[in-house]
Structures are given as C-alpha cells and as structure tokens.
Chain A
Amino acid sequence: MKTDQIVNLSRRRFVAGSAVSLAGLTLGIIPTVAAEQREAGPGIAGQAPETAGDFSPNAFLRIDGDGIVTVISKHLEMGQGTYTGMATLVAEELDADWEKVRVEGAPADAGRYNNLFWGKAQGTGGSTAIANSWKQMRKAGAAARQMLVQAAAKQWQVEAAEIKVKSGVISHPPSGRQAGFGELAELAAKQSVPESVMLKDPKSFSLIGQRVPRKDSPEKINGQAIFTQDVKLPGMLTAVVLHPPRLGATLSKIDAKGVLAVKGVREVIQIPSGVAVVADDFWQAKLGRDALSVSWDESKAFRKSSAQILEDYRQLAEKPGLTARTEGDGATALASADDAIEAEYSVPFLSHSAMEPMNCVVRIDEAGCEVWNGEQMQTSDQHQIAALLGLEPQQVHINMLYAGGSFGRRANPAADYLLETVHIAKALKPGTPLKMVWTREDDTHAGYYRPLYLHRMRAALNDQGEPHVWDQRIVGQSILKGTPFESVMVKDGVDMTSVEGAANLPYEIKHIQVDLHSPELPVPVLWWRAVGSTHTAFAVECFIDELAVKAGQDPLAYRRKLLRNHPRHLGVLNLAAEKAGWGEPMGRNRGQGIAVHESFNSYVAQVVEVSVRRNVISVDRVVIAVDCGVAVNPDVVVAQMEGGMGFGLSATLLSELTFREGRVEQSNFTDYRILRIDQMPEVEVHIVASAEAPTGVGEPATPVIAPAVANAVFAATGQRLRQLPLRLG
C-alpha cells in the first residue's frame, strides 16, 4: 500500500519566497496526486495570522499557546455536520480535548485542500467529505500528536515510549510530569516531521463513534454565525439584479431615470445576466430595481411548457436510447413475453430553494479578487472567476463561509451567481466590496434545477413471479454535458448522473436493459441532493413494488429474494422492516410502504406508514435503516437521515417547478411549497453496525422516501401514483 507523503510546507513556502514569515512549522500530508501542485495563498484567508508560539504541524491544524486546537476544514459546512466530522477525525488521533477544538474553513488551495476523490480539485459534494478525509485527517492528527510527544520527551528528558496523551493532556506517568498541548506547542514545532504515522486501532477510538457535540451549534443558536448574507465590509455596496422574464430573452431597452432617484442607489449596471442595481444597502437596491423600466426582446426566448416537455419525452421514450447497461437480451425476451408490464414514471423540475438565497461578496483590486461565499467548489470557481478577470486562479482568494443550505446549488460548474457578482464588482471603483443578493423570487427563477425526467419501465415475470426481463428507458437532460465534469463522468454519451441508481440495479434479473436519452433544452440544470437517484430510485423502487403486486407477493419478501446476493441492501432492508413492524395491520385508509436504495456507497431502507383522508396523504411514521460503514458521529448520521428524508418528502408531496410558455410559474414558498413542521412524520433511525470505511450520509436518505410513500399510498388506497409530487384523486 502506498503511504501518503508528508511534506514540510513551511520550508517549501519559504523557498518559494512567500512574504509570510511563519513562526511555527507547517507541514502537510499531501496525497501523491497533488504533491507536485503549487503552494498558494495565505494559510487562512481572512483569519488571524499565526503568531509566535503557535504550532501548525500541517495544513489541517494549528495549536496555539493556550492549547486551543484549530482544525482547518477543507470542506464546506452547509448543515451536514462536516466541520464536526473533520474535527473529530483530527482530534481522535491527536487525543485532543474536544472542548478545546475549534474549526476554521480552509482557503481555496487545491494543492493542499483538494478532495481526494476529485483528483486535483477542491470542493464538497457527492457525500464525499468524510469518506475522502477518513485517513487524511486522522494522519494529520497523528503526526501532530507524535511531534508533541517528541517535544515532551525532549523537555522532560524521558523516553517517548513512556509518554501518554489523553484528552489534551500529555503525561509521563513514571515521573508524574504532565503538560497541556499549549505548553509544548512551541517546542513541538521544532521537532522533525514523522515520515509515517501509526493510526489507532478502532477499538481505542474515544471520539469516533461517539455523539460528540457539533462545533457549529453554539454560534448558530445565538445568531453569531456568519453566512455570506451577513458579511459586512467597510464601504460595501449591495446589488440586486433584474433577470429576464424568460430564458434567452435579451435586453432591448432600459430606462434607469427613476432608479437613480431612489435614495441610496449608486449605479445601474448592465451585465450579461441582466441589469444590476447597486445601492448602499439591500432595501435601497431592491426599491431601485422596482423602479427600473426595462423592455426585453423575447423573439428568441424559450417558450415551452412543462406539459409539452413531458409529452416530447414520452415520444422519445418510444425509441431506444444510448445503452447504459445490458445483461442478456432484453428486447427479444420482452417481445416474446405474453404478459409484459409497462409503466411510466415522471418527476418535475425542482429548485434547491436553500433557506439562504444565493448571494456572494466580491472585492476586486489590483492584486486580484477576494470572494466571500458559502463555497462548495473552490477550484472550479477560482478558474471561472480568473478566466473572467484575466487573472491567475491563485489570485482569486476565496473565504469559505457557512452556507445556509445548498443541496447542490452552490456547486455549480458554471459558477453562475459568483460570475454575476464579479461582473457587477468589476464595473465598480477598484477595491469596492460588493454584496450581490438574490431575493427568494430571483432564487426560484434563476434556474439550475433538478431536471424533469421520464422513465418508461417494462418487465415480464417468470413462472415464480420473478422478473426475468427489466427494461428501463430514461429521458432527461444531462447535468454534466458541457461542463468540465463531462470528460470524466459522461461515458460513451451516457451521463453517469442520469442513470445512477438505475444502471446499477441490484435486483437479480436475467435480462436487463437500461437506456438513456439526453435531450437538450435551454433550461439550466444541476445536481440536487442525491442527484440521479432522486428520480431513478422513484421509478425502480415503485416498479419493483408493482411487480410484487402482480406476482401476488409481499413487497419485502419479493425484494429479499431478488437481493439475495447483496448483503448490505439486505441488511438495511431487514433492519428497517423489523424495527417498523412490517406487515402489521394498518387499519382503514392506512398503508405501509417500503423502499431500499444505494447511493454514494451508502445503503438506506425506509418503511413508511401513511394515512389517506379525502385524498390527502399524511406520512405518519418513517423508520430508516442506514449502512454507511463506520458512523463517525452517529448523531450526525441520524440527523442527516431525518433531514435527508424530510428534504425528499418535500419533493414527494409538495414541490414542483413548472414552465408555462417559458416562464417559471412559481416564485416563493407560497407556490413552490416545501415541507412544514405539521407535515413532518415521526422518524426513527437505525444504523447498521459496521467496520467498513465510512461513506456519505448527506444525500442517501433523500431518494428513498418518494417510492416508499408511493408504495404505502398504493397499500392504503389501491391507487398507483407514478408522478411526483404525489397527488390523489
């Protein structure tokens, strides 16, 4: 096995002629792939510089003279608990006192902070944060621990082997000496960097696997946490942008007279995405925009409606698409089946609708561009901004702030709202900080939606009622075509994110055919929490239920039989069924439904109970089982299961973004509806005990709820709903 290389960063930075003089030692554990990458940027953009006496053993942590351990998180905290997770991994191997651990967001610097699953790119997504950092962060903590021990051995003139570290205290039991991390920080900084480190035996973990308190909770409870929306810089201006009413419409005439009369309005700036009104504060900018008189040329604008798009897709599904998976000979087997079953499933466009609408702060001067953002894709955003401004990527400094939700929206390869902000800022006097704020309506209308999808499902059963043919034809826009991800994630024309959850169908079936049409539309689309699985799991897990019904078999028993070679699917399926009391009588107008799905290498099963009264579906109870390998923080895992399911439940019951003649019909939470507390079911989460390396938990609960609810509605009413959001009657 190849060990990661441990490099002394402070020396390399010094050699490179950095103006920053570092008192301590800075070493980094550099994955081999990035070892040749440049060293760039300040240690911590916008944060306090290191001071004498600090110990920064590597790019991921710093220990100051008071013994405070600051963990540098390379991943964005957007609610999923990443800051706590990163800190837990470091603190575990460091044997730090959890109370004295703090977390800071890393600057944009792919050389040190790349996502190990994304090659040379830095970013957060695809439920990879803990999975890719699992060993890297632990090694960072272990290296620091070893250097503290060396320092103590030197100071006390004792054998390093006799030294113990526990909860932030370094001790030498034979002599009774002990010290805190802070007391030894300065000396530790002078120790040689270990060439390799030993990681703990999981049996001796004291933080991993425990419910340690979240690091971001206190400041999110007292209003002190700073989101992009809260950034305030001296001389900062605020911009609100008027976007065209339809995609593809262009500005034909603009009358800004009334706007400049609005108090506080400074400038009206035409930018590629619309017209920006810049003012001293948000409300003035918004009043300015309200006063703007603009006419648009809509001759080339998008004019389609969702119903028409769906109909086009239906036609397309009549023809074979590009093959995503072939086993056996599905076409022949289907043609010869007397009793083929066919069904069409569809899902609408969806908006991410994070509670914090998209926003960004940018300041451009001679030295470069500084950005404050709930930053999810540093490397890609650096490149996009640099290209627009004619800068080198490392001249784009990004401060990663908390994101008030994202669900994929802040990870846009097109960097749309960031570039919009940069376009405005570059029209201002150099050095002027600019905050660009979208209103809720802007956020709903601005695109980058989960694409509308249609699935045409066909199957035939054998004598035992088991499917021997499965044919799934998927129609929907490619998310990745035209992005830098295309070369890696679009294979032979098949966008992996369009077919994930379908092409890897786990059920044992002789003939399997999965194909894909990726029609092009001007509607900008993007990943939305759990990406392809948000539609594939709905189609697959409902259709398998239909087959069970057709075969006259229990949906759980049916799945068990077809998953006989998939122990991790079976594990969660059985656990959820057992805890939920699968098969218990539900009474009138009530029903149970089940679904199981793997996404991002984690396995989730859900059993739901619904009640139906006057065509209204109420989800009463959801029992979730998850297998995500080692649960680094079981309470965070539970929270992500609860929340991920709840997020999916919005799309199951309420949310739908529709076009009518090219205009988005929804604008705010009045018509783009999301789950409220009175619609939240009772939730119970069970974690499968596992020694496997950890896998993601931010997304995998989301796709499972829609099919589980639809299956329960069928059990309660006999009505099979195949379109999201689910509507009876």
Chain B
Amino acid sequence: MLNLSINGERHALDLDPQTPLLWAIRDHVGLTGTKYSCGIAQCGSCTVYLDGAPVRACITPVSDAVGKQVTTIEGLSSPAGQAVQAAWRELEVVQCGYCQSGQIMSAASLLQRNRKPTDADIDQAMQGNLCRCATYARIRQAIKVAADKLNGVQS
C-alpha cells in the first residue's frame, strides 16, 4: 500500500510502485485535471508539484511521491497559482484547454521562483509545455499580467 498526500488529502493506493504518478492520480484518485498527452515528458500536460517543485507525472514513479506533498491543478491555491489563473481568464488564454492545466502549473511555478520574468525567462521555463492550439502569445502575456498582480502593480 502506498500512502500519498494529494492536495492535502491522504490516499492509500494499492499499486505497483513503478506505476507513473499520472495514472495513479487520474485512474485511482480520480483527479482528471492532470492530462496525458505524450507519456515521455515532452509536452508538460501532466505537470504536478512534488513538495512544490514541478515534475512530469507521466514519467515519475508513484513511489517517488510517497512522503511528499503532491499538488495538482485541482489543489493549486498559492498566490502565484491564483494570479496565474486570474490572468489566464483575463487574457482568455484557453482554447481547447487540454494542455492548460500543465501550462498553469508551470507558469505558477515560474512565478514562485521569479517574480519578474523576462520574455527569455518565460520561454525557458515554458518551452517544455506544448500547446497545439498555439496559445503561446497569450501565455507569455498572461504570465506578465500575473507577475504584475503578484507584485501589486495595477494593470
């Protein structure tokens, strides 16, 4: 039995320890905001946090999450996360939406580390997150709007 803490809730899962965290979260815990798209850490759709640090859940064995706090899009509540989600709505970043949980998790993590990211910082932090709808121009802009919100700048 593997004991996980996901978004502050405890879950005991009877799984092979090598099962990717992604499928533990989706199929066994029932949180489906974290998406499957590539399975090899090439697209970022499955981004979650382990003790606050972003990981690609599709290649992270569920056993790596034991003893750590797992945060998924459903549990994102940090000031950076809220600022990103608000900016995402304000700028209407979303199109099909499938990759957006991952985009938001990566963006919030960037702002956690760097409150004033430049375009180059954004490109570097976000280039692991693919968006086939190519919402990238708005993602870039929304991260800056979110940064302003966090820094108390009136937009």
Interface residues of A (CB under 8 A from B): 78-81, 213-214, 216-218, 220-227, 229-230, 232, 238, 263, 281-283, 353-357, 402-407, 437, 439-440, 635-636, 639, 642-643, 645-647, 649-650, 668-670, 674-678, 680, 682-683
With A and B bound together, what is the CA distance between A227 and B139 in angstroms?
22
Q: Is B111 an interface residue (CB 8 A)?
A: no
Residues of A within 8 A of B39 (CB): 439-440, 668
Residues of B within 8 A of A225 (CB): 97
- Closest residue of B by beta carbon distance from A437: B36
Interface residues of B (CB under 8 A from A): 16, 19-20, 23, 26-28, 30-40, 42-43, 45, 72-74, 85, 88-89, 92, 94-101, 104, 122-124, 126-127, 129-140
With A and B bound together, what is the CA distance between A281 and B29 in angstroms?
12
Q: Which of B28, B40, B132 has the most CB of A within 10 A?
A: B132
B23 & A281 in contact (Cβ 8 Å cutoff): yes
With A and B bound together, what is the CA distance between A230 and B73 in angstroms?
14
Q: Which of A225, A226, A675 has the most CB of B within 10 A?
A: A225
B92 & A405 in contact (Cβ 8 Å cutoff): no
Residues of B within 8 A of A281 (CB): 23, 27-28
Instruction: Provide 30 A-B residue pairs closer than 8 Å at the C-beta atoms, listed in order of the A residue.
Output: A79-B96, A80-B95, A213-B89, A216-B94, A217-B88, A222-B74, A225-B97, A281-B28, A282-B26, A353-B132, A354-B98, A355-B35, A355-B37, A355-B96, A402-B97, A404-B98, A437-B36, A636-B92, A646-B135, A646-B136, A649-B134, A668-B40, A669-B40, A669-B130, A670-B40, A675-B134, A677-B122, A677-B140, A678-B124, A682-B137
- Closest residue of A by beta carbon distance from B19: A283
Residues of A within 8 A of B130 (CB): 355, 669, 674, 676
With A and B bound together, what is the CA distance between A650 and B19 in angstroms?
33
Partner of B38 from A81, A230, A238, A440 at Cβ < 8 Å = A440
With A and B bound together, what is the CA distance between A403 and B32 in angstroms?
14
Q: What 16 additional pairs, Cβ within 8 angstroms, besides A220-B97, A221-B104?
A: A79-B94, A79-B95, A79-B96, A217-B89, A217-B94, A229-B32, A263-B16, A283-B23, A356-B35, A404-B97, A406-B96, A635-B92, A639-B138, A668-B39, A668-B42, A670-B40
B122 & A227 in contact (Cβ 8 Å cutoff): no
Residues of A within 8 A of B122 (CB): 677
B85 & A222 in contact (Cβ 8 Å cutoff): yes
Residues of A within 8 A of B28 (CB): 281
The main secondary structure of chain A at its interface with chain B is: loop
With A and B bound together, what is the CA distance between A404 and B103 in angstroms?
14
Residues of B within 8 A of A227 (CB): 35, 98
Residues of B within 8 A of A238 (CB): 27
A221-B94, A281-B27, A404-B98 as given contacts; A674 in contact with B132, CB under 8 Å: yes
Residues of B within 8 A of A226 (CB): 32
Residues of B within 8 A of A639 (CB): 92, 95, 135, 138
A79-B133, A263-B16, A354-B132 as given contacts; A221 in contact with B89, CB under 8 Å: yes
A680 & B85 in contact (Cβ 8 Å cutoff): no
- Closest residue of B by beta carbon distance from A262: B16
With A and B bound together, what is the CA distance between A448 and B21 in angstroms?
32
With A and B bound together, what is the CA distance between A682 and B136 in angstroms?
10
Residues of B within 8 A of A223 (CB): 31-34, 72-74, 101
B96 & A647 in contact (Cβ 8 Å cutoff): no
B123 & A669 in contact (Cβ 8 Å cutoff): no
Residues of B within 8 A of A232 (CB): 30, 32
Residues of B within 8 A of A405 (CB): 96, 98, 132-133
B43 & A646 in contact (Cβ 8 Å cutoff): no
Residues of B within 8 A of A214 (CB): 92, 94
Residues of B within 8 A of A645 (CB): 134
With A and B bound together, what is the CA distance between A406 and B36 in angstroms?
16
Partner of A677 from B23, B32, B34, B127 at Cβ < 8 Å = B127
Residues of B within 8 A of A222 (CB): 33, 73-74, 85
With A and B bound together, what is the CA distance between A214 and B88 in angstroms?
11
B129 & A217 in contact (Cβ 8 Å cutoff): no
Q: Please give me the 4 A-B residue pairs with the lowest Cβ-Cβ distance, nearest first.
A: A223-B33, A646-B134, A404-B98, A220-B97
